[in-house]
Protein backbone atom coordinates (compact mmCIF):
# COMPACT_ATOMS: atom_id res chain seq x y z
CA UNK A 1 0.00 0.00 0.00
CA UNK A 2 1.51 3.30 -1.08
CA UNK A 3 1.25 6.15 1.33
CA UNK A 4 1.11 9.34 -0.68
CA UNK A 5 1.38 11.70 2.28
CA UNK A 6 4.46 13.78 2.89
CA UNK A 7 4.97 11.83 6.08
CA UNK A 8 4.89 8.54 4.24
CA UNK A 9 7.39 9.79 1.68
CA UNK A 10 9.67 11.08 4.40
CA UNK A 11 9.57 7.76 6.24
CA UNK A 12 10.37 5.95 3.00
CA UNK A 13 13.33 8.22 2.36
CA UNK A 14 14.69 7.55 5.83
CA UNK A 15 14.29 3.81 5.37
CA UNK A 16 15.90 3.91 1.93
CA UNK A 17 19.17 5.08 3.44
CA UNK A 18 18.97 2.62 6.32
CA UNK A 19 17.84 5.05 9.01
CA UNK A 20 15.31 4.04 11.59
CA UNK A 21 12.16 6.13 11.32
CA UNK A 22 11.68 8.26 14.43
CA UNK A 23 9.43 11.21 15.10
CA UNK A 24 12.31 13.69 15.52
CA UNK A 25 13.96 12.51 12.29
CA UNK A 26 10.73 12.96 10.37
CA UNK A 27 10.09 16.38 11.93
CA UNK A 28 13.62 17.64 11.28
CA UNK A 29 13.71 16.40 7.69
CA UNK A 30 10.31 17.91 6.98
CA UNK A 31 11.23 21.22 8.61
CA UNK A 32 13.77 21.63 5.83
CA UNK A 33 11.31 21.18 2.96
CA UNK A 34 11.45 24.19 0.68
CA UNK A 35 13.33 26.34 3.15
CA UNK A 36 16.77 26.62 1.70
CA UNK A 37 19.43 26.61 4.37
CA UNK A 38 18.69 26.43 8.09
CA UNK A 39 20.88 26.16 11.15
CA UNK A 40 20.14 23.79 14.01
CA UNK A 41 18.59 26.52 16.17
CA UNK A 42 16.07 27.43 13.49
CA UNK A 43 15.20 23.79 12.87
CA UNK A 44 14.73 23.35 16.60
CA UNK A 45 12.38 26.33 16.77
CA UNK A 46 10.32 24.91 13.95
CA UNK A 47 9.82 21.44 15.37
CA UNK A 48 9.54 22.12 19.08
CA UNK A 49 5.88 23.06 18.71
CA UNK A 50 5.14 19.70 17.17
CA UNK A 51 7.49 17.76 19.42
CA UNK A 52 7.73 19.60 22.74
CA UNK A 53 10.62 18.42 24.83
CA UNK A 54 12.93 17.91 21.88
CA UNK A 55 16.32 19.21 22.92
CA UNK A 56 18.61 21.25 20.73
CA UNK A 57 21.21 18.53 21.18
CA UNK A 58 18.88 15.91 19.74
CA UNK A 59 18.25 18.18 16.75
CA UNK A 60 22.02 18.33 16.24
CA UNK A 61 22.16 14.55 16.45
CA UNK A 62 19.37 14.10 13.93
CA UNK A 63 20.94 16.61 11.53
CA UNK A 64 24.22 14.71 11.85
CA UNK A 65 22.54 11.41 11.10
CA UNK A 66 20.65 12.79 8.09
CA UNK A 67 23.79 14.45 6.79
CA UNK A 68 25.82 11.28 7.32
CA UNK A 69 23.23 9.30 5.38
CA UNK A 70 23.40 11.73 2.48
CA UNK A 71 19.88 13.12 2.90
CA UNK A 72 21.12 16.57 3.84
CA UNK A 73 23.94 18.75 2.71
CA UNK A 74 25.82 20.82 5.25
CA UNK A 75 27.53 24.07 4.41
CA UNK A 76 29.58 26.21 6.72
CA UNK A 77 30.10 29.69 5.33
CA UNK A 78 32.76 31.57 7.29
CA UNK A 79 31.20 33.32 10.26
CA UNK A 80 27.93 31.35 10.12
CA UNK A 81 26.81 28.29 12.02
CA UNK A 82 26.54 25.10 9.99
CA UNK A 83 23.54 25.29 7.66
CA UNK A 84 21.58 22.31 6.38
CA UNK A 85 19.61 21.85 3.18
CA UNK A 86 17.83 19.13 1.29
CA UNK A 87 19.32 19.93 -2.09
CA UNK A 88 22.10 17.36 -2.33
CA UNK A 89 24.22 15.74 -4.96
CA UNK A 90 24.11 18.40 -7.65
CA UNK A 91 27.35 20.22 -6.88
CA UNK A 92 25.59 23.58 -6.56
CA UNK A 93 27.36 26.48 -4.93
CA UNK A 94 26.28 29.21 -2.56
CA UNK A 95 26.10 32.95 -2.51
CA UNK A 96 26.14 34.60 0.91
CA UNK A 97 25.17 38.16 1.76
CA UNK A 98 27.95 39.88 3.65
CA UNK A 99 25.43 42.12 5.43
CA UNK A 100 22.45 39.96 6.44
CA UNK A 101 23.93 36.48 5.90
CA UNK A 102 21.15 35.43 3.54
CA UNK A 103 22.23 32.34 1.64
CA UNK A 104 21.20 31.50 -1.90
CA UNK A 105 21.89 28.61 -4.22
CA UNK A 106 23.73 29.10 -7.45
CA UNK A 107 24.05 26.35 -9.97
CA UNK A 108 27.37 24.75 -10.56
CA UNK A 109 29.40 26.99 -12.82
CA UNK A 110 30.26 24.18 -15.20
CA UNK A 111 27.55 21.64 -14.45
CA UNK A 112 29.63 18.85 -13.01
CA UNK A 113 32.22 18.50 -10.26
CA UNK A 114 34.79 19.76 -9.88
CA UNK A 115 33.68 22.85 -11.67
CA UNK A 116 36.95 24.58 -10.91
CA UNK A 117 40.34 23.01 -11.15
CA UNK A 118 43.51 24.58 -9.82
CA UNK A 119 46.30 25.06 -12.31
CA UNK A 120 48.52 23.02 -10.00
CA UNK A 121 46.78 20.60 -7.63
CA UNK A 122 50.07 19.47 -6.09
CA UNK A 123 49.43 15.82 -6.85
CA UNK A 124 45.86 15.78 -5.56
CA UNK A 125 43.09 14.27 -7.66
CA UNK A 126 40.41 16.92 -7.29
CA UNK A 127 36.82 15.68 -6.95
CA UNK A 128 35.01 18.70 -5.52
CA UNK A 129 35.27 22.45 -5.62
CA UNK A 130 33.06 24.09 -3.04
CA UNK A 131 32.65 27.71 -3.98
CA UNK A 132 31.15 30.42 -1.82
CA UNK A 133 30.34 33.66 -3.58
CA UNK A 134 30.02 36.70 -1.34
CA UNK A 135 28.06 39.84 -2.07
CA UNK A 136 25.04 41.96 -1.13
CA UNK A 137 21.63 40.32 -1.50
CA UNK A 138 18.79 42.05 -3.36
CA UNK A 139 17.12 43.23 -0.12
CA UNK A 140 20.32 44.71 1.23
CA UNK A 141 21.12 46.38 -2.08
CA UNK A 142 17.76 48.17 -1.97
CA UNK A 143 18.52 49.61 1.45
CA UNK A 144 20.62 52.73 1.83
CA UNK A 145 23.94 52.38 3.57
CA UNK A 146 22.48 51.29 6.89
CA UNK A 147 25.08 48.76 7.86
CA UNK A 148 26.47 50.99 10.62
CA UNK A 149 23.04 51.38 12.21
CA UNK A 150 22.04 48.82 14.78
CA UNK A 151 18.53 47.46 14.39
CA UNK A 152 16.06 49.86 15.99
CA UNK A 153 13.52 47.23 17.00
CA UNK A 154 15.03 44.82 19.47
**Residues in touch with Zn ion (CB under 5 A):** 85, 97, 99-100, 102, 105, 137, 140
DSSP-based three-state secondary structure for 148 = coil
> What is d(CA 44, CA 48) in angstroms, rounded to the nearest whole number?
6
Residue closest to 37 by CA, chosen among 92, 87, 3, 111? 87
108 is in an annotated binding site: no
Between 72 and 97, CB nearer to Zn ion = 97
Taking the complex as a whole, how short is the minimal distance between the CB of residue 143 and Zn ion, in angstroms?
8
Concatenated DSSP letters of 117-130: --S--TT-------
- Residue closer to Zn ion (CB basis): 9 or 101: 101
Q: Annotated binding residue at 140?
A: yes
Smaller CB separation from Zn ion, 74 or 99: 99
Tell me: is residue 97 an annotated ligand-binding position.
yes
**131 vs 140 by CB, closer to Zn ion:** 140
Residues 6+ apart with CB under 8 A from 4: none
Query: C-beta of 59: minimal distance to Zn ion in Å?
Result: 19
Q: Which of 90, 54, 55, 53 is nearest to 73 (CA)?
A: 90
Q: How far is the CB of 75 from Zn ion (least distance, A)?
A: 6
Annotated binding site: 97, 100, 112, 137, 140
- What residues are designated binding site for Zn(2+)? 97, 100, 137, 140
Amino acid sequence: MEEASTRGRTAAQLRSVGLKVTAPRIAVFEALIGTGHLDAHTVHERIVGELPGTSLQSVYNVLDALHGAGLLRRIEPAGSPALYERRTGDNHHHVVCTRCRAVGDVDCVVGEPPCLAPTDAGGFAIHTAEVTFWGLCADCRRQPEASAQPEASA
